[in-house]
C-alpha cells in the first residue's frame, strides 16, 4: 500500500481548511491578549486542586452533570450576586471551556448562516471569527469613548429590520471592551435595554474583563438591569486567573441553555481545572483581584503616559482605560497602521491593527495595544519605539513632546 489515501470529495460541505498560526513575539509585545503573567497563583491553584480532590476527587470518575462542577457553580452564582448584582441559581450557571465556548454555543443556538447580528463597531476578533465562520453577517454599531451610542443603535436596528435583516441579537462587551478599552455607563445601558426591548432583540453580554478593574467603579451589568431574561450573560475565570485554565461560564434562560448545550463539542467543562479554581478563589478572590489591580494599574498608566509624551500634539487619540488589558490608538485618518504591522514588528513593536476587529474592515488607522503583559518600563519604552518608528515613516505630524 504505497499509495496515499485520497480524501478528495470526502469532506463535509461546511468544513474548511484552517491554517496553523505560529504567533511571533515582538520585543515590545502589545499584540498579545494576556493578563499579567507574574501574578498567576500557581501554588494557590495547586493547593486549591488538592483541597478539591480531597473533598470530591472520587466524583471525577463520573462524567458529572452537564452544567459543570457543582461547587464552582455555587461559587459562581454567589460571585455574580456579590460582584454584579445578578440574581441567579447554581443550576442556571453553565460552565464552559473559556468564555469563547460560551459565546460559540450561544451564537449557534441563536443564529443561522445568513442571519444578522449587531456588535460594537470594533469587536473582539475571536467572536468576530466565530460569527464569520458560522456565516453570520456581523454589523458594527457606532461607538464613542463610552461604548455603544444608544441613538445610533436604535437607528441601526430600525434600518436593518426595514431591510428584512432584523438582528438576531446584540453582542457587546460593555466593561473594558476588547479592543477599544471603553466601558458603557449604566445610564446608557438602561437606554440600550429599552431599545432592545422595543425591537425584541436579546443581548449577549460578554463580561469577561469585569474582574480586571484597577480604577473607578464597575457599571451595572445588563443582566442585573434586566430581569425579563432578555440578557444572556457570559464571563470567565481565564482572564482573572490564567487563560490556560480554559474556564468560563454563562447564565441564560433555561430554554436558551438547553439549546446551546447541543452545540458543545467538548462535553462537561474540565472538572480538574474547576476544582483548582473553586478551591483557590473561595479563599482568595478578593486578594487576587487586588493583586491584579496593583499589577494592571501601573502598566496601564505607564502606557497612557508614554502615549501622551510621544503622541501628544500629533492628532492621535487613545483610550485611558480603567481596567482590562487594552488601550486603543487612533492615528489621524490615512495613517496605514494595518499595512505597517510587519515593519513595526521588525522595529520592535507588536500590535494588532484596528481593521482586524471591524466587521467592515474599518480602522486601518487604529491599533489595539495590550498593556497587561509587558512591564510598565517596557510599556513606556515600547510606545516611544512605536513613535520613533512612525516618525521615521513621516507619519508623526509633530515631533514627540519632550
Q: Which three cell numbers stand for residue 297?
A: 494599574
Taking CB under 8 A as the criterion, which residues in 252-271 touch its own copies?
Answer: 253, 255-256, 258-271
Is the previous residue joined to 179 through a cis bond, with omega within 30 degrees of 0? Answer: yes
Taking CB under 8 A as the criterion, which residues in 33-62 touch its own copies?
Answer: 33-37, 40, 42, 45-46, 49-50, 53-54, 57-62
Asked if residue 163 binds its own copies (CB under 8 A), the reply is: no
Q: Which of 26, 72, 77, 97 binds its own copies (CB under 8 A)?
A: 97
Q: Which of 185, 243, 308, 348 binds its own copies (CB under 8 A)?
A: 243
d(CA 101, CA 104): 5
CA dihedral (311, 317, 320, 324) in degrees, to 10, reads: -100
Give the nearer residue to its own copies in terms of CB position, either 325 or 390: 325
Q: Which among 354, 402, 349, 351 is positioned nearest to 378, based on CA atoms?
A: 349
Contact of 188 with 335, CB cutoff 8 Å: no
Contact of 320 with 328, CB cutoff 8 Å: no
Backbone angles phi, psi at 251, to 5 degrees: -125, 125
Asked if residue 276 binds its own copies (CB under 8 A), the reply is: yes
Taking CB under 8 A as the criterion, which residues in 129-148 touch its own copies?
Answer: 133
**CA separation, residue 272 to residues 95, 247, 295, 352 (Å):** 13, 11, 28, 34
Asked if residue 7 binds its own copies (CB under 8 A), the reply is: yes
Q: From the CB of 386, what's the least distance to its own copies, in Å? A: 22
Give the nearer residue to its own copies in terms of CB position, either 252 or 387: 252
Residue entry with cell 500557581:
42
83: left (phi over 0), alpha (psi -120 to 50) or beta: alpha
Give the nearer residue to its own copies in terms of CB position, either 123 or 331: 123
Taking CB under 8 A as the criterion, which residues in 317-376 touch its own copies?
Answer: 373
Q: Which of 27, 227, 314, 361 binds its own copies (CB under 8 A)?
A: 227
Give the nearer residue to its own copies in terms of CB position, either 4 or 217: 4
Q: From the CB of 178, what's the least distance to its own copies, in Å? A: 14
Amino acid at each position: 500500500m504505497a499509495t496515499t489515501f485520497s480524501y478528495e470529495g470526502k469532506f463535509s460541505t461546511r468544513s474548511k481548511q484552517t491554517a496553523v498560526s505560529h504567533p511571533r513575539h515582538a520585543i515590545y509585545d502589545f499584540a498579545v491578549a494576556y493578563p499579567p503573567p507574574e501574578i498567576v497563583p500557581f501554588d494557590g491553584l495547586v493547593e486549591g486542586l488538592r483541597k478539591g480532590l480531597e473533598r470530591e476527587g472520587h466524583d471525577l470518575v463520573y462524567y458529572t452533570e452537564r452544567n459543570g462542577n457543582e461547587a464552582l457553580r455555587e461559587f459562581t452564582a454567589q460571585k455574580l450576586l456579590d460582584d454584579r448584582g445578578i440574581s441567579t441559581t447554581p443550576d442556571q450557571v453553565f460552565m464552559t471551556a473559556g468564555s469563547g465556548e460560551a459565546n460559540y454555543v450561544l451564537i449557534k443556538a441563536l443564529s443561522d448562516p445568513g442571519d444578522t447580528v449587531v456588535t460594537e463597531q470594533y469587536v473582539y476578533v475571536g467572536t468576530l471569527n466565530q460569527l464569520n465562520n458560522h456565516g453570520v453577517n456581523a454589523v458594527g454599531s457606532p461607538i464613542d469613548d463610552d461604548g455603544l451610542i444608544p441613538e445610533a443603535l436604535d437607528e441601526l436596528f430600525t434600518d436593518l429590520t426595514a431591510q428584512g435583516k432584523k438582528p438576531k441579537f446584540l453582542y457587546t462587551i460593555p466593561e473594558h471592551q476588547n479592543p477599544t478599552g471603553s466601558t458603557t455607563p449604566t445610564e446608557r445601558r438602561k437606554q440600550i435595554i429599552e431599545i432592545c426591548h422595543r425591537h425584541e432583540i436579546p443581548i449577549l453580554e460578554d463580561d469577561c474583563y469585569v474582574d480586571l478593574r484597577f480604577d473607578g467603579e464597575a457599571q451595572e451589568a445588563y443582566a442585573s438591569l434586566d430581569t425579563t431574561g432578555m440578557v444572556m450573560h457570559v464571563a470567565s475565570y481565564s482572564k482573572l486567573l490564567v487563560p490556560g485554565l480554559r474556564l468560563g461560564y454563562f447564565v441564560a434562560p433555561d430554554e436558551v441553555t438547553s439549546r446551546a448545550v447541543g452545540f458543545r463539542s467538548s462535553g462537561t467543562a474540565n472538572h480538574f481545572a474547576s476544582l483548582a479554581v473553586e478551591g483557590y478563589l473561595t479563599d482568595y478572590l478578593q486578594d487576587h483581584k487586588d493583586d491584579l489591580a496593583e499589577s494592571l494599574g501601573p502598566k496601564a498608566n505607564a502606557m497612557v503616559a508614554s502615549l501622551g509624551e510621544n503622541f501628544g500634539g500629533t492628532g492621535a487619540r487613545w483610550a485611558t482605560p480603567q481596567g482590562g488589558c487594552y488601550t486603543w490608538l487612533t492615528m489621524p485618518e490615512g495613517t496605514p497602521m494595518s499595512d505597517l504591522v510587519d515593519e513595526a514588528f521588525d522595529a520592535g513593536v507588536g500590535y494588532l491593527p484596528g481593521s482586524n476587529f471591524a466587521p467592515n474592515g474599518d480602522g486601518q488607522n487604529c491599533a489595539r495595544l495590550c498593556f497587561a503583559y509587558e512591564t510598565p518600563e517596557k510599556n513606556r519604552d515600547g510606545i516611544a519605539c512605536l513613535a520613533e518608528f512612525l516618525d521615521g515613516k513621516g507619519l508623526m505630524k509633530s515631533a514627540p513632546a519632550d
